[in-house]
DNA sequence: TATGAAAGAACCTGGCC
DNA sequence: GGCCAGGTTCTTTCATA
């Protein structure tokens, strides 16, 4: 589906503040409130916008430690198999298969370093996992609210 | 600051749907709409909730490729220095310093593999960057809306 | 200190042009 | 896409425990 300038601007506004009123968004992009609502409804129907979520300071909820874990898997392990298995570990907040030596890269959040250790042990115990290699996060530099609205500036750079 | 059961439930509801009405949230957590609003206001003031954002399908906006880039930096490069420098690259959606061989791990989103290549070149051109090592994402397995509401289940595992 | 109820203002939503 | 009207939600105030 095709997104025009207005759609991108509306998405940008909603990424910045998902609870902004249609009138506020409309003022910003140059549209009436009802026109904005119609577009937002359409963007949700087509799947461009998948939902709205609160941005939370993980530390405030007790998740003070994060780590990245590389998974080295047995010969013919499928991505689907990995996905199903790691979905059972609630500490895994993000995961993907990647090119390079490792097969998958996992991002985990835990309450402390000991907790990280337990999670890695649990992951390593998965039958298809041959080896893991992990890095604990020292300090977070960037955690962007997906700034996907600056498509032009990015591709013209 | 201290968060009780109700605060966690409210945050959980807002993570699932940031545009839920206070009445809806109240029904779910067992509180009146006005009580929910007061708590949400307080959670925002104290910084537990940092904002509300739209969840977007990056591909719908043209960001079809993502990669992770490890940065190996010159002797005494400070995290702050790295942070300032990479913030100038809009394709970097997340970044942190880490333990292990590399100094920093960056998550980047781009329009295609060629774009990834250009971003890596630009990053490698930063004066403090000695070497980079990158992995292109093959398939995303998990991209959790920070499921930070299941604190108990996680720490009791 | 925190809650529920209530009222006016603001906002959403759908129909119509 | 804009305008409008009826219904809903927000926000503040007040009384209460």
Residues B85 and B130 in one domain: yes
pLDDT in tens, chain B (157 residues): 789 999 999 999 999 999 999 999 999 999 999 999 999 999 999 999 999 999 999 999 999 999 999 999 998 999 999 999 999 999 999 999 999 999 999 999 999 999 999 999 999 999 999 999 999 999 999 987 755 645 444 333 3
Give A30 to chain B, closest Cα distance, Å: 20
Q: For A84-126, how does the pLDDT look when each residue is reduced to its tens digit (9 = 90+)?
A: 999 999 999 999 999 999 999 999 999 999 999 999 999 999 9
pLDDT at position A144, please? 77
pLDDT at position A1, please? 75
A95 CB-near residues (< 8 Å, 6+ apart)? A82, A83, A86, A104, A105, A106, A107, B140, B141, B142
Comparing CB atoms, the residue among A15, A66, A102 nearest residue B54 is A15
In 10 A of CB B50, how many CB atoms? 15
Q: Determine the Cα–Cα distance for residues B37 and B31; give it in Å rounded to an integer.
A: 10
pLDDT at position B156, please? 37
* Domain assignment present for B130: yes
Comparing CB atoms, the residue among A99, A102, A115 nearest residue B136 is A99
Q: Is the pLDDT of residue A150 over 70?
A: no
Burial of A1 (0-12, 13-18, 19+ CB in 10 A): exposed
Residues B69 and B122 in one domain: yes
A92 touches strand D (CB under 7 A): no
* Domain assignment present for B141: no
pLDDT at position B150, please? 52
Residues A36 and A67 in one domain: no
A15 touches strand D (CB under 7 A): no
Is B60 in contact with A1 (Cβ distance < 8 A)? yes
- Residue–nucleotide distance: A85 CA to D17 C1' (Å): 50
- Residue–nucleotide distance: B38 CA to D6 C1' (Å): 28
Which residue is closest to C14 in terms of CA–C1' distance?
Answer: A34
Q: For A54-80, how does the pLDDT look when each residue is reduced to its tens digit (9 = 90+)?
A: 999 999 999 999 999 999 999 899 999
* Domain assignment present for A142: no
Partners of B46 on chain A (C-beta within 8 Å) are: 60
Which residues numbered 9-38 in chain B sit less than 7 A from strand D, measured from CB? 21-24, 33-34, 37-38
Comparing CB atoms, the residue among A52, A118, A151 nearest residue B62 is A151
pLDDT at position A152, please? 43
Residues A88 and A112 in one domain: yes
Q: Which range of residues forms the domain containing residue B36?
A: 5-45
Burial of B101 (0-12, 13-18, 19+ CB in 10 A): exposed
Which residues numbered 21-80 in chain A sit less than 7 A from strand D, measured from CB? 26, 30-35, 38-39
pLDDT at position B153, please? 40
* Domain assignment present for B119: yes
In angstroms and rounded to an integer, the radius of gyration of the C-alpha atoms of chain A is: 20
* Domain assignment present for A149: no
Is B157 in contact with A90 (Cβ distance < 8 A)? yes
* Domain assignment present for B52: no
Comparing CB atoms, the residue among A17, A91, A149 nearest residue B51 is A17
pLDDT at position A11, please? 97
* Domain assignment present for A105: yes
Is A135 in contact with B99 (Cβ distance < 8 A)? yes
Residues A74 and A121 in one domain: yes
Number of domains chain A is built from? 2
DSSP B60-93: GGT--EEEEEEEEE-TT--HHHHHHHHTT-TTEE
pLDDT at position B1, please? 74
B18 touches strand C (CB under 7 A): no
Q: Determine the Cα–Cα distance for residues B95 and B123; give it in Å rounded to an integer.
A: 13
- Residue–nucleotide distance: B37 CA to D5 C1' (Å): 28
Task: Say if residues A56 and A145 touch (Cβ distance below 8 Å).
Answer: no
* Domain assignment present for B157: no
Predicted TM-score (pTM) of the model is 0.90
- Residue–nucleotide distance: A5 CA to D2 C1' (Å): 19
Which residue is closest to C13 in terms of CA–C1' distance?
Answer: A34
Is B147 in contact with A47 (Cβ distance < 8 A)? no
């Amino acid at each position: 589906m095709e997104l025009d300038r207005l759609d991108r601007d509306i998405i940008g506004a909603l990424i910045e503040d998902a609870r902004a009123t249609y009138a506020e968004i409309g003022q910003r992009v140059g549209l009436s409130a009802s026109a904005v609502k119609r577009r937002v409804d359409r963007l949700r129907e087509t799947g461009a916008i998948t939902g709205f979520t609160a941005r939370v300071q993980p530390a405030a909820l007790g998740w003070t430690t994060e780590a990245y874990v590389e998974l080295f898997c047995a010969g013919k392990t499928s991505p689907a198999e990995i996905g199903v298995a790691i979905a059972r570990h609630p500490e895994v907040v993000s995961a993907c298969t990647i090119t390079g030596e490792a097969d998958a890269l996992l991002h985990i959040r835990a309450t402390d370093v000991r907790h990280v250790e337990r999670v890695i042990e649990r992951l390593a115990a998965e039958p298809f996992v041959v080896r893991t290699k992990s890095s604990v996060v020292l300090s977070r530099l960037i955690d962007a609210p997906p700034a996907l609205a600056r498509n032009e500036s990015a591709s013209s750079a």
